[in-house]
Amino acid sequence: MDMLVESRQRRSRWASLAGILLADLFLINVALLLSVGLALNFQYKWGPLGFAWRFALPITALAVALLVWRRLYRINVRFLGLFDLLNIVIVGVSLAVGLGIITTISVKLPTETSTWTAPVLLALLSSALLALCRVYQRLVTSRALLTARPARGRLRRILIVGAGDLGEALLRELARSESSDTVVVGFIDDDPRLHQTTIHGVSVLGGLEKLHTIVSDQNISEILIASPESSAEETRRVFHACISTNARVRSLPPLSRFVRGGADVLGLLREVSVDELLKRASVQGEMTPAARYLNGERVIITGGGGSIGSELARQASSLSPASLILLGKGENSIFEIDQELRHSNAFQPTPVICDIRDRQGLELVFKAHRPTVVFHAAAHKHVPLMEAVPIEAVRNNVFGTLYLAEEAVRNGVQKFILVSTDKAVNPSNVMGATKRVAEMIVSAMATRSETSFSAVRFGNVLGSRGSLIPILKKQIMSGGPVTLTHPEMTRFFMTIPEAVQLILQAGAMGEKGEIFILDMGDPVSIVELTKDMIRLHGLVPGQDIELKFMGIRPGEKIHEELSHSAEDLLPCAIEKISMVKSQRPVDWAWLKPQLDELHRLCETGDERAVRAFLMELAWGKTMPPMGTTAAVWEDATTEAPLKD
């Protein structure tokens, strides 16, 4: 049965091609008859048979060969373009050459003028008739598509930003899409030379400064960004101008994506990258200082399978370290980044499965691999989860950092860089408090060893595993609602590459427990960020996706900070990075007994006591008065490092 159907379809296809071929031959013969007639003022010397024998048969035979050669009968009129018209012209000119040979050699026309006039007319008329036939077919097809669309009032009104090649391709794709329920109202482009021009009958209405007026006046329901490849700053400017309207916003990738992906135009309409959600230009760091201290060194990255750790591994591996040890307790994530590095740049990292709370395990790792640079990115980071398990948070974030720092000092590590968070500033939650104490450990250890200690404070990292952006995206993709905590909540944001560059640059500058932060601009409203995310998916906030406020979760603050009141921000040699200088430096002689007591409380299992002591320690409430010297704590300095 299938073979019978296939056979019928094949016969139908060949019949259609034969019909097109016969129609083309008919038009060519009409052009031939008119060309010779016009050249002779329609004073034919031959009867029908004579004309057919002398002109029609040889030109028809030549036409068959040319039509097959240039494959005109296979042109899909819905996609008629310049290449197809060029083929039609080639056929017309070739027919003229054939007629010229006939009128010069075999059939003499009465005058010399008519001898060359007839071929020229044949080239023009045959090309025109063949092209007009296909243009007419395309118009008929387009009209059929339009009549199959919804009523005019139900069409989505589209505005295309970008009147270049990409915008034109998008317009054509929308025009010929059988399922399209859209109408393109116009183009927007900042090039003044394009203003008041038309593309396939659609006007370029003005520049980006007229966007709001056009969207309002033309009742635009959707904006499609079809800008060519441009700088990140320009892309961000266009995007933020578009999402500031009430229209849906989608973006088309650069033309290079078509070559790589091979997908159709509409299929490549995408959401704008989450990096473009930043209300500022991305910070591009200079990697030369990092390359100097990493070149030829043995580097270990804790939390090597996480979002920050894996990107750190990617960038560090390109700076020519002697070895790269990826340490983590999650085997799957470590395996994935290990395989990625091996296949992408032929770098052979060393994966190690180890828990930073395991002092014996860390000792074995350091003895086996002898690292000279340590990037400490392993941590429990989820605020609500850590509120529920404060002892686990302390053991991992505080004592894991302590054990790692002690091994670094014991094994002569040159540099130790801690990854911290802005939640460590005036902490209101367990996670932030543990990271603040980790900062204190790094600061205190720096004064009693030759290892160069430093720390970096992050804001929220866009797109990191388990962070806000992936959660929002998942809720949007499922149709909402999007759950938020508080309408006034703000956060500092940075991208994963920015975060990693900060870590690498801090390693170049840090010596004695300094803390570094990146200039992340002004804090971003979570509500506005969420609305931007919804618009990125071509949806309207509050209309397509509901925003639902659930209330602040335990431990959360409405606004985060980057430094304490007792800290000063000093400029660094590297632009956009500041160094935090504390007015109350942390003394190991004071911190050591505090850690001993915190460890003892953890061993009792009293979560309430652990939380209370942790918060007091992180806030510095038990620190000695300013001006107290370390001599007061002389006995404590002689104690051995903390042990279980």
- pLDDT value for 565: 64
Domains parsed from the chain with CATH numbers: 13-147 (no CATH), 152-270 (3.40.50.720), 288-632 (3.40.50.720)
User: Do 290 and 297 contact (CB within 8 A), yes or no?
Assistant: no
- pLDDT value for 255: 47
Whether the upstream peptide bond of residue 481 has omega within 30° of 0, thus cis, is: yes
For residue 454, give the amino acid letter: S
Rounded to whole angstroms, what are the CA distances from 196 to 186, 202, 301, 397?
10, 10, 57, 62
- pLDDT value for 414: 93
- pLDDT value for 229: 61
- pLDDT value for 258: 43
> Which of residues 137 and 252 earns the better pLDDT score?
137
- Return the closest-CA partner of residue 66 out of 103, 96, 94: 94
Q: Distance between CA atoms of 334 and 621, rounded to whole angstroms? A: 39
pLDDT tens per residue, range 63-77: 889 888 888 877 766
- Return the closest-CA partner of residue 476 out of 212, 274, 182: 274
- pLDDT value for 429: 92
What single-letter DSSP state applies at residue 209?
A: G
The mean pLDDT of the chain is 80
Q: Residue 179's pLDDT band (boundaries 50, 70, 90)?
A: low
- pLDDT value for 637: 39
pLDDT tens per residue, range 446-468: 888 889 999 998 877 776 766 77
- pLDDT value for 417: 93
Give the other-Cβ count within 10 Å of 114's Cβ. Answer: 18
Token output for 406: 């002690």
Out of 79-88, 148-157, 583-592, which region has the weakest mean confidence (pLDDT)? 148-157
- pLDDT value for 643: 39
CA 216 to the chain's CA centroid: 29
Q: Residue 373's beta-bridge partner residues?
A: 299, 415
* pTM for the model: 0.62
- pLDDT value for 231: 64
Section 119-128 average pLDDT: 90
> Which of residues 110 and 500 earns the better pLDDT score?
500
For residue 232, pLDDT beyond 50: yes
- Return the closest-CA partner of residue 435 out of 396, 474, 468, 490: 396
- pLDDT value for 441: 95
- Return the closest-CA partner of residue 103 out of 148, 187, 45, 30: 45
Section 69-87 average pLDDT: 76
Out of 237-241, 278-282, 475-479, 616-620, which region has the weakest mean confidence (pLDDT)? 278-282
